[in-house]
Amino acid sequence: MDELVAIRAEALRGPSDRATEAQHAKGKLTARERIGLLLDEGSFREVEQLRRHRATGFGLEEKKPYTDGVVTGWGTVEGRTVFVYAHDFRIFGGALGEAHATKIHKIMDMAIAAGAPLVSLNDGAGARIQEGVSALAGYGGIFQRNTKASGVIPQISVMLGPCAGGAAYSPALTDFVFMVRETSQMFITGPDVVKAVTGEEITQNGLGGADVHAETSGVAHFAYDDEETCIAEVRYLLGMLPSNNRENPPVAPGGDPADRRGDTLLDLVPADGNRPYDMHKVIEELVDDGDYLEIHERWATNIVCALARLDGHVVGIVASQPMSFAGVLDIHSSEKGARFVQFCDAFNIPLVTLVDVPGFLPGVDQEHGGIIRHGAKLLYAYCNATVPRISLVLRKAYGGAYIVMDSQSIGADLTFAWPSNEIAVMGAEGAANVIFRRQIAASDDPEATRSRLVEEYKAGLMHPYYAAERGLVDDVIDPAGTRQVLIASLAMLRNKHADLPSRKHGNGPQ
């Protein structure tokens, strides 16, 4: 027992106090400190703590630390089981070798078998060069398990250091990526290789830092200033997710009454379709206690994707954002919305879509960039979703974008609209210019004729009850009563069951 205690103490301590000090000097925590922040106190159970590599050559046989640079195990977050692995940068720079990879494979297999979320705390320099192809094969095993677990258990990657090459692909396969500013980076080829190949000079953060991936590439869903805040937000996210695809998200009843009216909404959305407003304020008014977690907050800001609660039950919200590009759909917002819809559908999270969309963004760049292909991703995701789906048209809903934003015709279970809604093929002025262009051109006063015909078109095809009269909107509702309507509708749909056709899988747009 004395020998066991001494060995365990060595494994827990790590390579040296100097290595720990160096980690702290970079503003980074150790692997065990990070696990301590993530999991409930005292709940962590480690797996293969005494594992050591068996590689030889290049001096490896002289350096065989316990854990082999990765800490693996399970514990609880708010009492619910969560599996975790954390790279220990103090050992081989967190680089992945054969034994290191085998430990990760095992904990991933355990998470899938137990039906519990998997969180990876990434702080590794990539494959262990001294072990050659064995290290690369280890990454292959991780990727294969990431794919196997996709849609079965939630997978969250937390980037807490430099992650290059293969180390960046596993996070890209998971559901959510968290990053910390200044200390975490992700890239396939580093700045030195970029300079050698292209001549471009750039820093690590400029190439693959947290802000780059949160705002420009869309690789990171969340970015924070420090590890403590980042890991606290991971715990918050886990509290809104089911353990696996066979369960529903946890219910957390609060003190916000289900029948609370939102009179603020009556003045929040301008009747003038050309005036912007902040959709975040609408969401805050609708959800429990105004509390929600926005996904990809700083990327593709013309669409808002968020997790929130209505009467204690988790919902996924997809909403146009008139404050950004007037809320149009473009390539990036379509991709963002599509992946969020797919995630919610995979994990039994009902979808509420708030629509104020003037159409798809026109332009050569968008067309040549494949807006047809990318817009179809959002359409495909909605059409494929079997969770409860409720759509609410707040104001504008024009053209193909109206169809794509979960209209009744593509399978929304319930569709509501506010009295300010305008559902049409296009805006009244554009429609009048097309339909009545000859009359306008032949008129003695073209502007007066255009104005009159625009009003006629609005009165005939764009009045607030046109869609409701044709059964394409289930009801036109009082904006102040929206929260009550949504909660009652979701309660009715809670046991919804829908089957897709028998198939191996669909072939979605690429």
> Catalytic: 400?
yes
Among residues 400, 411, 430, 508, the one annotated as catalytic is 400
- Residue 57 gets the label, from left (phi > 0), alpha (psi -120 to 50) or beta, of left
Task: Return the H-helix or E-strand segment holding 295.
Answer: strand 292-295
Q: How far apart are CA 429 and CA 396, in angstroms?
A: 14
Angle between helix axes 166-173 and 133-149 (nearest 10 degrees) is: 10
Place of tokens 């919305």: 337
Q: Are the beta carbons of 47 and 86 closer than 8 angstroms?
A: no
Q: How far apart are CA 148 and CA 171, in angstroms?
A: 14
Q: How far apart are CA 274 and CA 348, in angstroms?
A: 36
187 by DSSP, 3-state: which? strand
Among residues 36, 115, 151, 165, the one annotated as catalytic is 165
Q: How far apart are CA 385 and CA 362, in angstroms?
A: 28
> Catalytic: 165?
yes
Q: How far apart are CA 381 and CA 309, in angstroms?
A: 22
Give pLDDT tens digits for 177-203. 999 999 999 988 888 888 889 889 998
Q: Provide the pLDDT for residue 36.
A: 96
> Catalytic: 290?
no
Q: Provide the pLDDT for residue 127.
A: 73
Q: Provide the pLDDT for residue 419.
A: 94
Q: Provide the pLDDT for residue 349.
A: 98
- The separation between the first and the last C-alpha atoms of the chain, rounded to the nearest angstrom, is 58
pTM of the model: 0.92
Which DSSP symbol is given to 47? E
Token digits of residue 71: 């800490």
Q: Are the beta carbons of 66 and 16 closer than 8 angstroms?
A: no
Instruction: Report CA 456 to chain centroid distance, whole Å.
Output: 43
Instruction: Report CA 446 to chain centroid distance, whole Å.
Output: 49
Q: How far apart are CA 316 and CA 391, in angstroms?
A: 12
Q: Provide the pLDDT for residue 454.
A: 73
Token digits of residue 368: 């040549």
Amino acid at 507: N
Cα 285 to Cα 281, 309, 393, 416, distances in angstroms: 6, 12, 16, 17
Q: Name which of 81, 90, 89, 97 is nearest 40 in CA terms.
A: 81
> Catalytic: 316?
no
Residue numbers in the chain where pLDDT is lower than 70: 55-57, 59, 129, 427-428, 430-433, 461
Q: Provide the pLDDT for residue 59.
A: 67
Among residues 73, 75, 94, 166, the one annotated as catalytic is 166
Cα 231 to Cα 75, 222, 282, distances in angstroms: 15, 11, 28
Q: Provide the pLDDT for residue 56.
A: 63
**In sequence order, what E strands does 152-277 have?**
155-159, 162-164, 176-180, 185-187, 222-224
Token digits of residue 413: 């279970």
